[in-house]
Structure 1
Amino acid sequence: MIPLEFAALEWKQTASGLWQVENGTNPGLAYSLIWLVWALASLSGLVLFLVFGFSSRFNYERWRGGVLTIRDVTFYFAWLQLTTMILMLASELLGVSGNGWFGLILPYLPHGLMILCALWLFKGRLSELDFRRMGAKETGFAFVAVIAAYGFTYFFLDPLVTNPVAHWFNLELGSWREESISEGINQAAKMGLLSVGGQILLIGVMGPIAEEILFRGLLMNVVARRMGVSIALIVSALLFACSHADVSYMAPLFVLGLLLGGLYAVFRSLWVPIFFHIVNNTASVLFDLFR
């Protein structure tokens, strides 16, 4: 889906000569045909997945134990795709895709599915995703590392990475994704404290847990076993940046992915990048609320 998301973006040149990248509202016939082919291929794959699943009595899903492999990642994505498609169809049929509080949480429900699929498929095997407890001393070092990493992102990421890269490629530093998130937070603020708390939970906590399970616990873990930690670190950071489909902030997202992967590689516990990710996202939500 990542190439499709990038293909849907619209590039507009501003009066100052900079390129502004926005989420396209009318991607055109060519994109629609490509999307239709992708949708039909995905649907066919899911049908075959369910047919063979029933014929094998879902033997894989009942199996527990062993070392994390590409097969585990494949089944995870298959179930994630299936549950996401069911969610999309249900929201369309019920006509609740953009109404009230449900419209606020709908964009983040896939994160919930990412967590639920992991808890179900890896029940009793969460240690393979490196949900590992750490001793008091190691926890102290991890806490200091997280604070240092956040200090870098807060004080140095923009002047050292974001702004120079945007200047180099003549990009306008406006993010349709960030604006969409800010609009949701502002709308939640108008609806009351409960809605604000929900946004903090969804963006600040659930999103980081889901993304770290996917990009570090699964992808980086499996790639590291086959190609080494260095390659896995770069691949997971690149996929993390691309998954946000935000051209203007691609470089800082890549660096953020490197920081998250570095924390995971050093401490070998998924809780450390999750903690840093939660700190980063929650701080962003609070800044949006109080600015």
Structure 2
Amino acid sequence: MTKRYLWIVLTYVLMQLSGYVGYPLLNSLGIPRDHWAGLWGTISFLAALLIVLLLLIPDMKDPSLRGGRVSRSSAVGWAIIGIFMAYGAQIVAGLIEINLLGIKPGSENTQMLVKIAKLTPYFMVVTSIAGPILEEIIFRKIIFGSLYKRFNFVIAALISSLIFAAVHFDFTHLLVYTAMGFVFAFLYVRTKRLLVPIVAHVSMNTLVMLVQVVFADKINDLQDKAEKMQMIIGGLF
């Protein structure tokens, strides 16, 4: 792992810990407590993403790193396939957790992010875009990429996926996060383009925000109406 990559990982770690400085700062500015997570999360993630992208400029300009990449048209196709693969992996892993491991559905990490996004809607920029981009750079390009040079795909993907799962502090659903990590790692290896797993990751997170935040009220209304219609139809027969 190069020094630049170590600086990128350090930037990510410091960003995760920056709340210890950021929250007291927001408190001193009179920002309501329930807005701290959303506001500081947005500031810290966007700042970290900017720093990381600046540190990656040499990689972007290095032609030797472009070898073996699939064409742009193939990348688009794999990005679309990757979205369905990621959803499929999440569903299968979720069913295994529920039916074989007896784990209740629902992620505390996701619910926490949804709660923050409802209080501070601009935080969705982090959950839908900045967060997934940062995570793919850290966990796929750097951690998985470094491990893949020394180990086979399964070992490299497993270690990087477990770290990816652990960072979300949702150990109950370790299998789901690990399964998605494997999919993103496969997409990266198959296409040699980091943008492909980024698109899949961004799409998954964006759908969650759309369903549970943006259109949550409308979806609940439709569900209520559907239940009432079922009761009416059931009463007729």
Q: TM-score range by the shorter chain?
A: 0.7 to 0.9
Specify every segment of 5 or more residues in structure 1 that has no aligned partner in the other structure, as ranges.
1-68, 189-194
**Percent sequence identity over aligned pairs:** 18
2:199 corresponds to 1:264 = no
Q: Could you say which residue in structure 1 is the equivalent of 2:97?
A: 162
| Residue in 2 that maps onto 1:205 | 129
1:184/1:80 Cα in 2 relative to 1: closer, same or farther (>3 Å)? closer
Can you list the C-alpha shifts for 1:90-122, whole angstroms capped at 9, x where unaligned? 431441575465542323544334422322322
Aligned to 2:169: 245
Distance 1:165 1:247, change over 3 A: farther
Q: Which has the higher relative contact order, 1 or 2, with Cα contacts under 8 A spaced 6 or more apart?
A: 2
Q: Which has the higher helix share?
A: 2
Which of these residues, 45, 59, 68, is aligned with residue 111 of structure 1? 45
The number of residues matched between the two structures is 210
TM-score (norm 2): 0.74
Runs (5+) with no aligned partner, structure 2: 220-237
Matches of 1:91 and 1:239, distance apart in 2: 26
Indicate which of 75, 84, 109 corresponds to 1:139: 75
Tell me if structure 1 keeps the 8 A contact 2:83–2:201.
no
CA contact (8 A) 2:141 2:194 kept: yes
Structure 1 segment 1-291 matched on structure 2, within 5 A: 69-82=1-14, 88-95=20-27, 99=33, 101-126=35-60, 135-153=71-89, 155-159=91-95, 161-167=96-102, 171-188=103-120, 195=121, 198-289=122-213, 290=216, 291=219
Q: Which moved more, 1:267-276 or 1:94-103?
A: 94-103
The one-letter code of the counterpart of 1:145 is I
What is the RMSD computed on CA atoms of the aligned residues?
A: 3.0
Distance 1:126 1:101, change over 3 A: farther
Report the residue type matching 2:97 in the other structure. Answer: T
Task: Give the C-alpha shift of residue 201 in structure 1.
Answer: 1.7
**SS of equivalent residue, structure 2 residue 178:** helix
**Counterpart residue number, 1:43:** none
**Contact 1:237 1:254 survives alignment (8 Å):** yes
1:124, distance to aligned residue in structure 2 (A): 2.6
